[in-house]
Structure 1
Amino acid sequence: MKKFIVPIIVMIIFAGVIVSVIGKNQESPGFIINAAFNKDDYQTIISANNQLGFDILPESEPNKDGNIFISPTSLLIALSMAFNGADGITKEEMAKVLHKEGIESEQLNKANASLMSMLLNNSKHSRLEIANSIWLNNQLQFQDDFDQNVRDYYNAEIQEVDINSSRTPEIINNWVEKATNGRIPKIVDEEINPDTAAFLINAIYFKGDWMHEFDPKHTKKRIFHLGDGTTKEQPLMTLHEKLAYMENEDFQAVILPYAGEKMSMYVFLPKEGSSLEEFRKRLTNDNWEKWKAEFNEKDGTVLLPKFQLEYDAEWSKALVKLGMTTAFDDEKAVFTKMVKGTKGSVWIDKVKQKTFINVDEQGSEAAGATSVKMDTKAAPMDSPFQMEINRPFFITITNNETGTILFLGSISKP
């Protein structure tokens, strides 16, 4: 019996480059959801999305600089599309990893459609775009329900391609490059396994201005302390402003809002004597919600690194470790609801993610590490805070209205 593999390619682009005028509030152009759902359906998957990020973070390999930058939302959307093709034990395992045990495809689809409709609301100063595509081996056919669901709920662009053609990688990579505004020019290798059934691709692109811009005149090179005890020079941007701030005996944290107040960056800086690794061990949904409730508006100074980085992840082993075992097993995977006539011989080969992040004075995504040595007691809330991000730190990019963590990163060397 011939077997077919389904590489799920999750592409993320977080571009924080300078933003010009984008236009009036509008959903991402060309993104149309042709399915019925309730506006608040997204609420059923927010905690699942965030916990998925906290689960996959420790299973992600750092890049050569020790950095990790991922999007749980992009992973959730891509796996949700694949979920429509799963059945039996494979479906059960996928639901468990997604923290939605017992959920049916229709419920998950409605929740994703609701979430994407909430997120895709652009403004003059910020832009978030989501694009989904599926590239099907032209020797195969999708099951009718799978085809309809991914088109209607995920606005997925479905194209049949000749897997054996030398032009196919170029065609897919051109779509990728366009969907990511040129930031990711290549995701598919030049040679594709001839047994590939389909590529499932999700791309997220964000670009935004800070609500409170950093003055470039105050950006200076300073010492950044690396985890191994060495140091490097790093441009740090300076902002004096009233911001949402919190501090406890383990870390300082500040919220940097983007213009329009739809999106914010949370920056967490472990205190001297603690570490980024210790902070990451405490990352759970319960702690995340607890910390969010402890922020208070306060005058202060933030010194944030100006940097750019790229990150690649391959999560097949990570997802198996989290419990999604049969989906990657060519003998046990059950994706009978995805492709016609394969009798269960379709399985997932790879789950891949690429990210790009750029942080500058006018906006984007950032993580900086600089903190003044402080007492173990929380600083009085009536005195200005100072947060110099000059050592490894943690960031999230969060949608304020829904509470969705779209991106999260562990930054050891900006």
Structure 2
Amino acid sequence: MRPRSSATQLLLAALAVLATACADSGTAPDATAAADSLTALPRALTTTERQAITASNDFALRLLQRTTARQSGNVLLSPLSVSLALGMTMNGAAEETLTEMQRTLGWGTANRADINVAYRDLMTMLPGLDPGVTVRIANGLWMLQPMVPVAAFTSDARQFFNAPVASEPSTRAMFDAVNAWGDRETRGMIPKVLQAEPPRDLVMLLANAVYFAGTWRERFDPAKTSPGSFRLEGGAMATVPMMTRGGGFRSWRDDRLTAVELAYGNAAYSMLVLMPTRDPVGAFVATLDTARLAQVVQGLREARADEPLRLPKFTLEGSLELSPDLRALGMPRAFSILAQFPRLIANESGKLSFVQHNVKVEVDEKGTRAAAVTVVGVVVVSLPTGVDIDRPFVFLIRERLSGTVLVTGVVRDPRGR
């Protein structure tokens, strides 16, 4: 991770809830909004789509809480990317593994067909909401030759996630192919998501990429950007480039929190900045839930034209392996030898090995560019290979029911030497 900065964590918490653009767009238009601002979605959301957004936002905040708790520096996440990658993977799961994954991703007991449709419709809607904002969402699937995925799984991946299936001759070739794909889909922002050596038993990679580029609805004047003070955790002061402008944003305050919202393009998308004024940022994130977020969003009001806003200009990137967080959030079975993925790999049992997540964000006077790639690695669960007693051992001859030990010994050399 890059330099430690508590408030920057919360600047980027905004990106963790970008999907709230859909949930909030159906509200009544602000009286001060410009005539070309988006005030309603192109169509009414279905019940399942609303559930998808609620599930995504709930997962976003829970994942933010988990990762913030175990990171001492900046935290960058795209929960949408993680949810889509795991949502596609979930089509290969069954029984307890499926139940755990659905619950962790916020889907509860929804059926597979409805979940797939909701993911598909969300991916279709988000890129087309604002002609002034670029949103790209891509999915892909890579297999190790000569293995093949289950036909029903690839059908779902293509139909609902628009994910092509590729076959590669080696695990290194799989890593290289995903890295090249991620570089292309994020327009060079994430050139290499997979940097470690591939697991020897790797057989499948499933990936999602999200790219966002938006210009501020009201831009900052670069001439007004100047060095400013930023209070780090612990009280030390740092000097950072501060962008400045008057008005053109919405704000909300109480005795513990200051919030501002800055719109992009036609206001379908925005950055919501949450800055705790009393508590450490980690403590604030630990209490941040969808109810608190809704309270802030509903309380936002247009700032006066002469009300100044100062916001850091920054470029940050982060890399996280999310399997510890996902286990803790409720889906440990998917990563264990007890994993149940019968719809994933033909004639093989698999489990998840890793969930690699890389994010980069650039914020300047013109707007914001953000990109994320999430890669799920699947390895084969090998059948038991037997037990070899091939080193010194202790033995006990005992009566099993009473536990009485008759003979015991230590064998260092079975040859009797």
Q: Does 1:150 align with 2:154?
A: no
2:292 maps to which residue?
287
Q: 2:270 aligns with which of 264, 267, 289?
A: 264
Deviations 1:370-404 (A, max 9, x none): xxxxxxxxxxxxxxxxxxxxxxxxxxx9xxxxxxx
**Residue number in structure 2 paired with 1:48:** 55
Query: TM-score, normalized by length of structure 2?
Result: 0.74
- 1:225 is aligned to 2:255: no
1:40–1:239 Cα change, 3 Å:
farther
Name the residue aligned to 1:68.
75
Aligned partners of 1:135 and 1:159 also within 8 Å: yes
Residue equivalent to 1:296: 301
Alignment of 1:156-167 (within 5 A): 156-164=163-171, 166-167=172-173
- Matches of 1:245 and 1:194, distance apart in 2: 52
Tell me if the contact between 1:62 and 1:68 (Cα under 8 Å) persists in the aligned partners. Answer: no
Instruction: Show CA shifts across 1:229-287 (max 9, x none).
Output: 2111100000101422111111111110001211100011211x333123212211111
The 2-side partners of 1:162 and 1:190 are apart by 18
Distance across 1 between alignment mates of 2:112 and 2:93:
9
SS in 2 for 1:201: strand
Instruction: List per-residue Cα deviations over 1:207-229 (Å, max 9, x = no partner).
Output: 11000100011101011110022
Query: In structure 1, the residue corresponding to 2:128 is in which secondary structure?
Result: coil
Select 1:350's aligned residue among 335, 347, 354: 354
CA distance in structure 2 between the partners assigned to 1:169 and 1:71 by the alignment: 21
* 2:100 match: 93
Tell me, in whole angstroms, the C-alpha distance in 2 between the residues paired with 1:192 and 1:72.
24
Residues 259 and 296, structure 2, Cα contact 8 Å, conserved in 1: no
Query: 1:251 is matched with which residue: 245, 257, 264?
Result: 257
Deviations 1:88-136 (A, max 9, x none): 1100111110121212211110010111111011655310000101111
**In structure 2, what is the equivalent of residue 214 of structure 1?**
220
> In the aligned structure 2, how far is the partner of 1:95 from the partner of 1:63?
24
- Taking the aligned partners of 1:231 and 1:365, their CA distance within structure 2 comes to 27
Q: % of aligned pairs identical?
A: 28
- 1:3 aligns with none
Contact 1:122 1:128 in 2 (8 A): no
Give the Cα–Cα distance (whole angstroms) in 1 for the partners of residues 136 and 302 of structure 2.
Answer: 30
Letter in 2 for 1:241: G
CA 1:245–1:304 in 2, change beyond 3 Å: closer, same or farther?
same
1:251–1:61 distance in 2 versus 1, CA, 3 Å: closer
Measure, in 2, the Cα distance between the counterparts of 1:99 and 1:185: 31
2:175 corresponds in structure 1 to 169
Give the deviation of 1:182 after TM superposition.
0.8
Per the alignment, in what secondary structure is the counterpart of residue 367 of structure 2? coil
Post-superposition offset of 1:170? 2.5
Match of 1:312 among 319, 341, 360: 319
Q: Aligned-pair distance for 1:63?
A: 9.8
Q: Which has the higher contact order (CA 8 A, sep 6+)?
A: 1
Larger Rg computed on CA atoms: 2
Taking a change above 3 Å as real, the CA distance of residues 284 and 61 of structure 1, as seen in their structure-2 partners, is closer
Aligned length: 328
What TM-score do the two structures reach when normalised by structure 1? Answer: 0.75
2:351 pairs with 1:338: no
For the 8 Å contact 1:61–1:313, the answer to whether it is kept is no
SS at match of 2:125: helix
Given that 1:255 and 1:264 are in contact with CA atoms closer than 8 Å, whether structure 2 keeps it comes out as: yes
**Which residue of 1 is the match for residue 364 of structure 2?**
360
CA–CA separation in structure 2 for the residues paired with 1:245 and 1:365: 22
Contact 1:63 1:311 in 2 (8 A): no
Aligned to 1:391: none
User: Aligned in 2, Cα 1:65/1:231: closer, same or farther, shift over 3 Å?
Assistant: farther
1:324-335 correspondence to structure 2 within 5 Å: 324-330=331-337, 332-335=338-341
- 1:63–1:312 Cα contact (<8 Å) kept: no
Q: Secondary structure at the match of 1:197?
A: strand
Among residues 281, 289, 305, which one is paired with 1:276 in the alignment? 281
Alpha-carbon RMSD: 2.3
List runs of 5+ in structure 2 lacking aligned partners. Answer: 1-14, 16-44, 374-417
State the match for 2:139 in structure 1: 132
Shift of 1:184: 1.1
| Long gaps (5+) in structure 1 | 1-13, 15-37, 367-396, 398-405, 408-414
